[in-house]
Amino acid sequence: MNNKGSGLTPAQALDKLDALYEQSVVALRNAIGNYITSGELPDENARKQGLFVYPSLTVTWDGSTTNPPKTRAFGRFTHAGSYTTTITRPTLFRSYLNEQLTLLYQDYGAHISVQPSQHEIPYPYVIDGSELTLDRSMSAGLTRYFPTTELAQIGDETADGIYHPTEFSPLSHFDARRVDFSLARLRHYTGTPVEHFQPFVLFTNYTRYVDEFVRWGCSQILDPDSPYIALSCAGGNWITAETEAPEEAISDLAWKKHQMPAWHLITADGQGITLVNIGVGPSNAKTICDHLAVLRPDVWLMIGHCGGLRESQAIGDYVLAHAYLRDDHVLDAVLPPDIPIPSIAEVQRALYDATKLVSGRPGEEVKQRLRTGTVVTTDDRNWELRYSASALRFNLSRAVAIDMESATIAAQGYRFRVPYGTLLCV
């Protein structure tokens, strides 16, 4: 038995999401254009009827499916009911939405529906990509007469499990307003279009890792047997196999305008690698993860420098984190430090195997340079000045390394259900 009834197929739902979203965006852009050119105000009655709203996606399961899959980490129901969320940029998220909806539709016979929501699209989110030209003098009027960003309506309550139950359960961790908020921040912080982000994300805290990534990326683009077709760089550089002197083109300083510049090594099927230089400190690490989480990446990894805490370690040795001591404090209010952040077996194995592959050394030799253990993440760059107070704590935790980002990134991955891992160099 199933309850598909007169509901939509996943493909039909995605097409309808596209149509409703585009309809609202066009209406909002046209209204803004009319206001700029002639002072015409938007029709309030039309707004009340949903002229500028996001589309909503609702999935309902009656609980009748026999032997539903229980071992998947996603694409499954835990109890019968109706689940809903608002959707933005459905074209950007089409592949992700299709995968999720197809599993629910095929395995549970879920009923899928799409309709206009009651949440209006804030006007700043439709300006980019349009032909509208604004100046600062227009901001007050636009904010007065058009829907705008309301911080009280944006939050992580669903992801943090503190939402208030209603007739509908949340279908996603992030609704459309939260997603649009983060997409805008990603463009601002990284200097690259959100469309270029790839599902395998690397974070680093030193520019030298960027140099190596760019060098390797350029070699991959020139290799006809490589799946990589382009390198998108902070500041607007776009590198392909036809680009002359690609490393010189990338070496221009446009990326320095951005707080956390990103580079995207792109494949034709969208299964490439993104590298973000987050700089130093847990605040940046938290910030970028807050926003990247809405893209639902397949994994994010911290690849960077650390301080070794054991006398057996030497400069250049590797550290594979299998536990974290969270002294970063930036997430204590939403994820208390006494909540353990477990390592993920599949990620740990992949990082270990990658170390063997790249080093070209057998397992026993690799173990002489690769330490596994606890990584301390601190918010105090001068932790050395209080070493006598920290030494006992480090020893009790069996810490082998210290940095200022890794535990924050792992905690954010745990919090937002994004697989995570850490491989550092002393």
Which stretch of 49-53, 208-212, 247-251, 329-333 has the lowest confidence by average pLDDT? 247-251
Spatial distance between the Cα atoms of 274 and 193, rounded to a whole number of angstroms: 12
Report the amino acid identity of residue 366.
Answer: V
- Mention every residue, 6+ apart, whose C-beta is less than 8 A from residue 343: 321, 322, 323, 421
Mean pLDDT across the stretch 163-181? 88
Topology of domain 304-426, per CATH?
Answer: Rossmann fold (3.40.50)
Strand order of the β-sheet with 169-170 is 111-120, 53-61, 81-86, 169-170
Of the candidates 343, 360, 365, the one whose C-alpha atom is nearest the C-alpha of residue 413 is: 343
Directed axis angle between helix 406-416 and helix 282-292, to 10°?
A: 30
3-state DSSP percent of the chain in helix, strand and coil, to 5: 40, 20, 40
* CATH fold match for the domains 10-187 and 304-426: no
Burial class for 307, CB neighbours closer than 10 Å (0-12, 13-18, 19+): middle
Res 254: pLDDT: 65
Spatial distance between the Cα atoms of 157 and 334, rounded to a whole number of angstroms: 10
Report the amino acid identity of residue 398.
Answer: R
1: pLDDT confidence band, cut at 50, 70 and 90? very low
pLDDT digits (tens, 9 = 90+) for 335-350: 999 999 999 999 999 9
Based on C-alpha coordinates, what's the Rg of the chain? Answer: 24
Of the candidates 165, 60, 186, 172, the one whose C-alpha atom is nearest the C-alpha of residue 111 is: 60
Report the amino acid identity of residue 351.
Answer: L
Q: In this structure, what token pair is assigned to residue 193?
A: 């279009």
Res 386: pLDDT: 81
Domain ranges of the chain: 10-187, 191-277, 304-426
Residue with token string 């009655």: 45
- Give counts: helices (H), strands (E), the chain: 13, 15
270: left (phi over 0), alpha (psi -120 to 50) or beta: left
Domain 10-187 classified CATH 3.40.190.10? Answer: no
Mean pLDDT across the stretch 23-49? 92
Q: Is pLDDT above 50 for 247?
A: yes
Indicate whether this model's pTM tops 0.85: yes
